[in-house]
Amino acid sequence: MSKRDYYDVLGVARNASDEDLKKAYRRSAMKHQPDRNPGDAGAEAAFKECKEAYEVLSDGGKRRMYDQHGHAAFEHGMGGGNAGPGFGGADMGDIFGDIFGNIFGGGARQQGPRRGADIGYMMELDLE
């Protein structure tokens, strides 16, 4: 199944400002929020789709990649790391904090530096 254009999902023009994106996302998220539409699988799918669209379009780097390559920029093997909306190793607390913080006017919580990726190396040592 092909994905809809993220700009169409949010109902904004390709040159929409960050503020326009935020307004469109809030409007769409509130309309399709699963708690407001219990048992409606279509609303849940639409909510997830608008969340995914906003996560890409609200990030300058991801938006540039999407504008150049479309959805292919976030498929496996392109874009590198966890840049895509698949949340490969993302912290779910950060994701929900960003989503609900944006909807209800709160900002992202303050936190220290993020932990880097683990590095593994095999070596042999002679103990004498």
Among the listed residues 89, 90, 57, the one whose alpha carbon sits nearest the alpha carbon of residue 73: 57
pTM surpassing 0.75? no
Share of the chain above pLDDT 90, in %: 30
Tell me the one-letter amino acid at 5: D
Residue 43 lies in a domain: yes
Q: Which residue has the higher pLDDT, 91 or 113?
A: 113
Residue 120 lies in a domain: no
Q: Are 25 and 58 in contact (CB under 8 A)?
A: yes
Residue 48 lies in a domain: yes
- Structurally, the chain folds into a number of domains equal to 1
Among the listed residues 95, 94, 9, the one whose alpha carbon sits nearest the alpha carbon of residue 57: 9
Tell me the chain's radius of gyration from C-alpha atoms: 18
> What are the C-alpha distances in Å from 48 to residues 4, 33, 118, 127, 128?
12, 9, 30, 56, 59
Work out the average pLDDT over 108-122: 74
Residue 118 lies in a domain: no
pLDDT of residue 115: 79
CATH number of the domain within which 82 lies: 1.10.287.110
pLDDT of residue 104: 54
> Which residues, including other chains, have CB under 8 Å from residue 114's CB and lie 6 or more apart?
none
Residue 58 lies in a domain: yes
Q: Are 14 and 7 in contact (CB under 8 A)?
A: yes
Give per-residue pLDDT as tens, 60-99: 899 999 999 888 888 755 444 444 444 444 555 555 666 6
Work out the average pLDDT over 116-124: 84
Domain that holds residue 89: 6-100
Residue 101 has a CB neighbour count (10 Å cut-off) of 13
